[in-house]
Amino acid sequence: MTDFIKLTGFYQFAAGFFSEGGWKMLLMIIIGAILLWLAIKKQFEPLLLVGIAMGVILTNLPGANLFHTDIWDAFTGGGEYVNAAGEVFSHVTFTTVMQEGGLLDIFYIGIKSVLFPCLIFIGVGAMVDFGPMISNPISLLLGAAAQVGIFLAYLGANLIGFTQQESASIGIIGGADGPTAIFTATMLAPHLLGAIAISAYAYMALVPVIQPPIMKLLTTKKERGIIMRELRTVSKMERILFPVCIAVLVSLLVPSAAPLVASLMFGNLLRECGVVERLSKAAQNELLNIVTLFLGLAVGASATAERFLNPQTLGIILMGVLAFAFGTAGGVLLAKFMNLFLKNKINPLIGSAGISAVPMAARVSQKLGQQENPGNFLLMHAMGPNVAGVIGSAIAAGVLISILG
């Protein structure tokens, strides 16, 4: 009976509360509970945050052995793993993980192999309409301008002591694209994955709070009331050629971005070609839902006490919000600059949608535009920079991975 009691998590928790960081595990469980409350009560990105929160709680339960940071340290060559039999592994493979790891370790393979982010992008591509961007190519420039937040946050993180690889992973939070942030952190700074993913999705949920003050500060009442011309109709041929051409072009130009962009464009081709409706619906629904389940749990599992409870996490949170702010400002300011030369003026509010929080950022542009002019309908115009931002953030991630990976 005594042996059984010593094997329970309750005993391990009490015995190592101070000496082995048990209090930190308790604090992480509380943080997980707070995230769960935010997801359920406040509906902050609930589709993913519920899974992340549960993953945070499960990975910090003493004795459960659902996730092993030492296995993944050995996987990347940053440490050794000693199993229950006393065998020492200085380097492990996915086979070792399957044999020695817990349930969440197995789920984490989907992140470490970058399979989950790419599958998410197939589903996102099947849901996204690139028509507004094709109809108004200027949207590409606005989407690109919004990525300035990524690079400014990268510089800021580097200045406060993060390595270049860590800084790049933190900067990608400014792209407002969860799968891209996870993809980049997995490639460059896997030890920061939990904090980066949680920050990215939390800030995405706060887009309606973060963006409006910046948008109002940088625009005049007259600019916010600009009514834009109706978008032209995009032909089916254009819709089919676009994902194929972009997948080929980006893969050749930035090979490191190929997994994400090719997945996104393949999903969009399923949507637009018109002959595989079943596959398109499956990508939008079953595939996206199933992968989201595993992705959330695996991301939360990486937020162990020793990795999350440190000063670096505060730096990530700070740089994340700055990345969002700079990205929003970049898109708005470029739209204002372009209006100096354009005959048909752009409403600068749509520039803020260049961060790729689809479609939330576009809805924020629409809402602010209608506040100034009830007859102003900016949603479809804002969707152009919005979907361009998805491509732009993936390309930015590819560039940083190519240089720093």
Cβ atoms of 40 and 46 within 8 Å: the answer is: yes
- 364 is written with which tokens? 């924020």
Cis upstream peptide for 255 (omega within 30°)? no
Angle, helices 379-404/164-171, rounded to nearest 10 degrees: 170
Determine the Cα angle at 39 with ends 37 and 40, to 5°. 65
Domain spans in the chain, listed from the N-terminal domain onward: 2-108, 115-404
Q: What is the pTM of this model?
A: 0.92
Q: Would you write out the chain's pLDDT as a tens digit for each of its 405 residues?
A: 556 666 676 667 666 665 566 788 889 999 999 999 999 998 888 988 999 999 999 999 888 889 999 899 888 877 888 887 788 888 888 988 998 899 999 999 999 999 999 999 999 999 999 999 999 999 999 999 999 999 999 999 999 999 999 999 999 998 888 899 999 999 999 989 999 998 888 888 888 989 999 999 999 999 999 999 889 999 999 999 999 999 999 999 999 999 999 999 999 999 999 999 999 999 999 999 999 999 999 999 999 988 898 889 989 999 999 998 999 999 999 999 999 999 889 999 999 999 888 888 999 999 999 998 888 899 999 999 999 999 999 999 999 999 997
What radius of gyration do the chain's Cα atoms show? 22
Q: Whole-angstrom distance between the N-terminal and C-terminal Cα of the chain?
A: 52
The alpha helices in 172-257, defined as continuous H runs, are: 178-188, 193-205, 207-218, 221-224, 236-253
Which are the contacts of 382, defined by CB distance < 8 A and separation ≥ 6? Answer: 349, 350, 353, 361, 362, 363, 365, 366
What letter would DSSP give residue 274? S
